[in-house]
Amino acid sequence: MKAVVYKGPFKVAVDNVPDPKIEHPNDAIVRITSSCICGSDLHMYEGRTAAKPGIIFGHENMGLVEKVGAGVKLLQTGDRVVLPFNVGCGFCRNCQRGYTGYCLTVNPGFAGGAYGYVAMGPWRGGQAELLQVPFADFNALVLPPGKKHEADFALLADIFPTGYHGAELAKVTPGETVAVFGAGPVGLMAAYSCLLRGASRVFVVDHVKERLDKAKEIGGIPVNFDVADAVQQIRDQTEGRGVDKSIDAVGYQAVAQGSPAAGGKAKEIPNIVLNQLIEVTAPTGALGIPGLYVPSDPGGVDEAAKKGSLSINFGRLFEKGLRLGTGQCNVKTYNAYLRDLIIAGRAKPSFVVSHELPLDKAPDAYDKFDKRVDGYTKVVLHP
Ligand SMILES: NC(=O)c1ccc[n+]([C@@H]2O[C@H](COP(=O)([O-])OP(=O)(O)OC[C@H]3O[C@@H](n4cnc5c(N)ncnc54)[C@H](O)[C@@H]3O)[C@@H](O)[C@H]2O)c1
Ligand SMILES: [Zn+2]
Ligand SMILES: [Zn+2]
C-alpha cells in the first residue's frame, strides 16, 4: 500500500510499504477514506522531536472497516469509523477511569499510545491506504454510513475533541470570557468549543491573517500579536480585568512578536504563551493547556529548553489563585457526544479545513502547512 513516510527534517515521501495485517484477534483493518495532517506532525517533520526516519505519519484517521479479527464483537466489515488518535486498551487502570490518552498497556513503559507518533508505541500511522487498529471494539467510534459530514467526522480523531479538551481543562462555563492563544486548527476548535459551551466573548490570538479571519467568522474576537502585545490588547477590551479563562493552543514552538512570519526577526520563545496566560487571566481563573510541550527537544533555544525545562511565573500563578490543566486529550471522553452534535446539525467543525487532497500530494501539503502559507490551515488527505 501507499503511505506517507518520514525521511528526515523537512522531508516526507509517499512510499510503497507492506499492508498491515490482523496480528491479534482484537485487531481490525480499516481502509482509510480521510486522514488529516496535524500541527503535532509538524514537530516531527521539522526534526524537533526524537522521531527517526521511517515512521509512517498519521494519527487523525477515518475509514471503512475492511477486516476484523476473530475476537472483535461489535464492529463489522463495512462500518464507517473514526479512530481517536490515542490507542487505548480499555482495561488498564487509566483506560478504566477514562484516561485513554494514558493507556498503560499499548506502549510498554510509558503512559499513552498513538498512531504514527514518536515515543507513542509501535502503531503505524494512517496517512496510508490501510490501518491496523488494535482493541478495535474499544478504539473505533462508529459513524452513520454514507459520505455525509466526512470532513466534520474526520476531525473527531483529534482536533475537535482536543479543542474541546482545552475548554474542559479550563472549565469554561456560560457567560465567561476566554482568551485562546493560537488560531491553528486546535485553537480554532478550542474557540469554537468555548462558544458552544456558552462563553460570552472569546479572544483568539495569532498573527496569521487567514487563521484570524476564520476565528472572526465563527464569532471570536481576533487579536494579532504582531500589532501590539496580546495581553495588553485583551486588557484594553476587558476594562483592564483580563479574562476568566485562557487556553494555550500553541505549545513549545511559540514565536515572539515580530517573528519572520511577519517579516521580522524575532525568535522562538517557548515559555511566552504560558506566561501570557498567567498574565491575561483574572485572579481565581483557570488555564487549559492542550498545546504540546516535550521533555526532549533537539532544536530547543537553550540547554534548559532542550530538556523541556521552561521558566514560568509560578509566583504570579499562586498570587492569582489560578488553576491549570494540561496533557494529551482523552479523545474517547468526548468524541461520541461531539459526533452527535455534528449529526444534529449543532456543530460543523469542518469550517477549519482549508485543503482536501489526494495522498500523493502529501509532501507539498506538509511543506505549505509547515510554512503556514497559501491559507493552509487544515489538510485532509484522501488515499
Ligand atoms: N493535547 C493534545 O492532545 C494535542 C492534540 C493535538 C495537537 N496538540 C498540540 O496543539 C498545538 C496546536 O496544534 P495545531 O494543529 O493548531 O498547530 P499549528 O502549528 O497549526 O498552530 C499553532 C498556531 O500558533 C500560532 N502562534 C505561534 N506563536 C504564537 C504566540 N506567541 N501567540 C499566539 N499564537 C502563536 C501560530 O501562528 C499557529 O497558527 C500544537 O502544539 C500541537 O502539537 C495537542
Ligand atoms: Zn493531531
Ligand atoms: Zn489502557
Q: Whose CA is nearest to atom 11 of ligand 1?
A: 291
Distance 291 CA to ligand 3 centre (A): 23
Non-local (6+) Cβ contacts of 211 within 8 A are 183, 184, 187, 188, 372, 377
DSSP, res 92: S
Distance 75 CA to ligand 1 centre (A): 34
Which ligand is closest to the CA of 181, given by its number?
1
User: Residue 213 in contact with residue 280, Cβ under 8 Å?
Assistant: no
Domain with residue 206: its CATH number is 3.40.50.720
User: Residue 242 in contact with residue 280, Cβ under 8 Å?
Assistant: yes
Same domain, residue pair 194 and 71 = no
Q: Is 32 left (phi over 0), alpha (psi -120 to 50) or beta?
A: beta
Task: Give the integer Cα–Cα distance in Å for 72 and 24.
Answer: 10
What distance, in Å, lies between the first and last C-alpha atoms of the chain? 10
Q: Whose CA is nearest to atom 3 of ligand 1?
A: 328
Q: Whose CA is nearest to atom 29 of ligand 1?
A: 254
Task: Give the integer Cα–Cα distance in Å for 252 and 75.
Answer: 38
Same domain, residue pair 6 and 98 = yes
Q: Which atom of ligand 1 is nearest to the CA of 166?
A: 1
Task: Give the integer Cα–Cα distance in Å for 195 and 134.
Answer: 35
User: Residue 131 in contact with residue 63, Cβ under 8 Å?
Assistant: yes
Instruction: Write out the chain's pLDDT in tens, 383 residues.
Output: 999 999 999 999 999 999 999 999 999 999 999 999 999 999 999 998 889 999 999 999 999 999 999 999 999 999 999 999 999 999 999 999 999 999 999 999 999 999 999 999 999 999 999 999 999 999 999 999 999 999 999 999 999 999 999 999 999 999 999 999 999 999 999 999 999 999 999 999 999 999 999 999 999 999 999 999 999 999 999 999 999 999 999 999 999 887 666 566 668 899 999 999 999 999 999 999 999 999 988 888 899 999 999 999 999 999 999 999 999 999 999 999 999 999 999 999 999 999 999 999 999 999 999 998 888 999 999 99
pLDDT at position 257: 85
pLDDT at position 264: 64
Domain with residue 95: its CATH number is 3.90.180.10
Which ligand is closest to the CA of 289, given by its number?
1
CA-nearest of 143, 200, 192, 155 to 173 is 200
Same domain, residue pair 198 and 73 = no
User: Residue 275 in contact with residue 315, Cβ under 8 Å?
Assistant: no
Best residue among 36, 210, 247, 250 to mutate for probing ligand 1, ranked by most atoms within 8 Å of CB: 250
Same domain, residue pair 307 and 361 = no
Domain with 198 in it: 159-326
Same domain, residue pair 132 and 98 = yes
pLDDT at position 298: 86
Same domain, residue pair 62 and 116 = yes
Q: Which atom of ligand 1 is nearest to the CA of 256?
A: 31
Distance 292 CA to ligand 1 centre (A): 8
Written as one string, the DSSP assignment of 241-273 is --EEEEEE-S-TT-B-SS-GGGT----B-TTHH
Task: Give the integer Cα–Cα distance in Å for 36 and 62.
Answer: 9
Same domain, residue pair 135 and 69 = yes
Same domain, residue pair 294 and 185 = yes
CA atoms within 13 A on the CB side of 41: 34
Distance 206 CA to ligand 1 centre (A): 10
User: Residue 287 in contact with residue 246, Cβ under 8 Å?
Assistant: yes
Q: Which atom of ligand 1 is nearest to the CA of 326?
A: 1
Residues with CB under 6 A from ligand 1: 38-40, 42-43, 158, 162, 181-187, 205-208, 211, 225, 249-251, 254-255, 272-273, 290-292, 328-329
Distance 166 CA to ligand 1 centre (A): 12
User: Residue 186 in contact with residue 365, Cβ under 8 Å?
Assistant: no
Best residue among 118, 206, 269 to mutate for probing ligand 1, ranked by most atoms within 8 Å of CB: 206
CA-nearest of 83, 229, 70, 53 to 143 is 83
Task: Give the integer Cα–Cα distance in Å for 214 and 165.
Answer: 20
Alpha helix ranges (H) inside the chain:
39-45, 93-96, 136-139, 150-154, 159-169, 185-196, 209-217, 230-236, 272-280, 303-306, 314-319, 331-343, 362-371
pLDDT at position 122: 95
Domain count, the chain: 2
CA-nearest of 189, 221, 203, 211 to 348 is 189
Which ligand is closest to the CA of 104, given by its number?
3
Q: Which atom of ligand 1 is nearest to the CA of 205?
A: 33
Same domain, residue pair 167 and 84 = no
Task: Give the integer Cα–Cα distance in Å for 10 and 46.
Answer: 5
Q: Whose CA is nearest to atom 28 of ligand 1?
A: 254
Task: Give the integer Cα–Cα distance in Å for 361 and 325.
Answer: 37
The three three-digit cell numbers of residue 32, written as one number = 482509510
Same domain, residue pair 150 and 62 = yes
Same domain, residue pair 315 and 277 = yes
Same domain, residue pair 68 and 203 = no
Distance 184 CA to ligand 1 centre (A): 6
